Amino acid sequence: MRRTESRPQPPVTAAEGDEEREAGVARLFDLHYTSMLRLAALLGADDPENVVAEAYYQIYRKWRKVRDAGAAEAYLRSIICNLTRMRIRHLQVVRRNTPALRVESVASPEDSVLLRDDQRALVGILRELPARQREALVLRYWQGLKETEIAAAMGISPGSVKTHAARGMAALTRRMEARR
Amino acid sequence: MNTVPDDMERRLRETLDTLAAGVHPARDAYRTARGDWRRRERRRRIVLALLVAVVFTVAVAIGLWVLNQAPAGNGAIFTEPAAAAVHPDGRG
């Protein structure tokens, strides 16, 4: 008679759970850190490293709920969009209330990259767009996401994504043509 | 609705790609970030444990105080003397 070996699964201890979480987050870090850092920078975060580190910390904390790598990437993207939007809004309020800070300029990615004049102008206009429009454009034209994915990242409906993207693109086109 | 020229889309893609290519992660980004997560997680757990301990202590203290405030005599129901509470036929 064949004996079937059915060993009971040992319960996962807290230390093992922590190790698994560390390994999982490390894997996610390897896979997505650079693209998330670039996303935060393109969305206009003045400190993209902090924004992305905070997003990874949220994943680290809620690791038991977020196991699937695909879901984790979407979740990271969504956190980064929210954190960047909050950060920009906070900076706007601070600058409005303390006029002395208005003149301070923060080092942005376009300072270190060799951009043509028209590209620099485009980036300038993109920075002046409302946060939602900028997010929709970056997620669509840089990340190449579908409308449903953009909607999930921004926490809005696909219809609203279309509206924001169309308005943003129209504003870019209009202002670039006015610049000529 | 406005029609967007393809050229504009292409220029936007190019610009965003160029801009993104200029952003590079720091070499020790993972180590720095991991140190920060661990520190924050440890602090969160300590604060949580302290909070639970404080709530538990306060709850126990309130319970003991309430018990201590209870009247020492018999309750309102058992006001009669013990002998009167016994049934006349002796069945208790």
Taking only the tens place, the pLDDT of each residue in B4-48 is 667 888 989 999 999 999 888 888 889 998 898 889 989 999 999
CB contact under 8 Å between B18 and A41, yes or no, is: no
Distance, in angstroms, between B35 CA and closest chain A CA? 11
Q: A36, B20 in Cβ contact below 8 A?
A: no
Whether chain A has a CB inside 8 Å of the CB on B6: the answer is: no
Cβ within 8 Å, pair A60-B37:
yes
Instruction: Enumerate the residues of chain B whose CB falls inside 8 A of the CB of residue A125.
Output: none
Instruction: Tell me the chain B residues in contact with residue A166 when contact means C-beta distances shorter than 8 Å.
Output: 1-2, 4
| pLDDT: which is higher, A101 or A93 | A93
Q: What is the pLDDT of residues A6-35, one digit of tens each?
A: 555 555 566 777 788 888 888 889 999 999
Give the distance from residue B52's alpha carbon to the nearest chain A alpha carbon, in angstroms: 19
On the question of pLDDT at B54 being above 80, the answer is yes
CA-based end-to-end distance of chain A:
87
Cα–Cα distance, A25 to A72 (Å, whole number): 10
**Structure-token pair, residue B86:** 């016994």
Q: What share of chain B is helix, strand, coil (3-state, %, to 5)?
A: 60, 0, 40
Contact yes or no for B12 and A137 at CB 8 A: yes
Rounded to a whole number of angstroms, the distance from the CA of B60 to the nearest CA of chain A is: 29
Q: Which of A50-59, A63-72, A101-110 has the lowest mean pLDDT?
A: A101-110
Query: What does the domain layout of chain B look like in residue ranges?
Result: 27-67
CB neighbours of residue A141 within 10 Å: 23
Given a cut of 80, is residue A105 above it in pLDDT? no
Q: Chain B residue closest to A33 (CA)? A: B25
Give the integer Cα–Cα distance in Å for B29 and A56: 12
Radius of gyration of chain B (CA): 37
**Distance (Å) of CA B17 to CA A31, A39, A113, B23:** 19, 11, 11, 10
Tokens linked to A58? 């949220």
| Average pLDDT value for residue range B59-69 | 93
Higher pLDDT, residue A9 or A78: A78
Q: What is residue A41's predicted lDDT score, i.e. its pLDDT?
A: 92
**Per-residue model confidence as pLDDT tens digits over A129-149:** 999 999 999 999 999 999 999
